[in-house]
Amino acid sequence: MRNTSDIETFLDLCHRVYEKDLVRGAGGNVSVRSGDRILISPTGRCLGVVDEDDVVQLGLDGTVIGAGRPSKEWRMHLSCYGREDVRAVVHVHSAYAVGVACLRQLDHDCSMPVYSPGYSVRVGKLPAVAYMRPGSSELAQAVATLIARRNSVLLANHGVVAVGASADQAFDIAEEIEENARLHFLLDGRGRPLDEQQQAALAGRY
């Protein structure tokens, strides 16, 4: 049985991700946990027009409940829900973040400088995983390893994964990463990021 409140939260998340230009066309995918099920966006459908009939439900074992075909990234989404506190997962292909993910000298430990206090606290040193085929179990496992101890990860040549204890939190993290990436390109090497001491002093302040 569908939880109406969770479906409304899911649809709102889909539409916000699209309206904020975090995805284009049929790119990206989102999910929300609803009891013992996952509500996930369908494959090949623009998030901006996803409606209630498009919602795909998955069991925690990956079984499709009812009709529909889930995003090919369903394995990656399910792997993130291995953390009990995760209630939503946002995977986007936002332009500036993908730009960072495509840099030749991508630092996989800290993919871009930390420019602001908010970003430092909510995201911090954003790690990146090496390119792996979208939808693969290898990518899902690599993401799960990092998400086990943090709320976001950059996928080389691909995009961003952000998780949260709520849909709002996951969305905010994805948007914050995109804004920091935008600053990174605007500054073009002229920026003065926060140093290690400044970042450490911010811990627990927000």
Q: What mean pLDDT comes out for the span 122-148?
A: 98
Closest CA to 83 of 150, 7, 37: 150
Whether 22 and 92 have beta carbons less than 8 Å apart is answered as: yes
Q: What is the pLDDT of residues 9-56, one digit of tens each?
A: 999 999 999 999 999 999 999 999 999 999 999 999 999 999 999 999
Answer yes or no: is pLDDT of 205 > 90.
no
- Cα(76)–Cα(180) distance, rounded to whole angstroms? 24
Q: What mean pLDDT comes out for the span 91-120?
A: 97
For residue 84, indicate whether it is catalytic: no
Q: What is the pLDDT of residues 50-86, one digit of tens each?
A: 999 999 999 999 999 999 999 999 999 999 999 999 9
In this prediction, residue 2 carries a pLDDT of: 52
- Cα(176)–Cα(10) distance, rounded to whole angstroms? 20
In this prediction, residue 54 carries a pLDDT of: 97
- Per-residue pLDDT band at 206 (split at 50, 70, 90): low
In the chain, where the domains are located = 4-202
In this prediction, residue 204 carries a pLDDT of: 67
Catalytic residue chosen out of the listed positions 73, 175, 176, 178: 73
Average pLDDT, the chain: 96
Closest CA to 87 of 142, 5, 28: 5
In this prediction, residue 203 carries a pLDDT of: 82
- Cα(46)–Cα(130) distance, rounded to whole angstroms? 26
Domain 4-202 falls under CATH 3.30.70.20: no
pTM: predicted TM-score of the whole model, two decimal places: 0.95
Give the percent of the chain with pLDDT over 90: 96
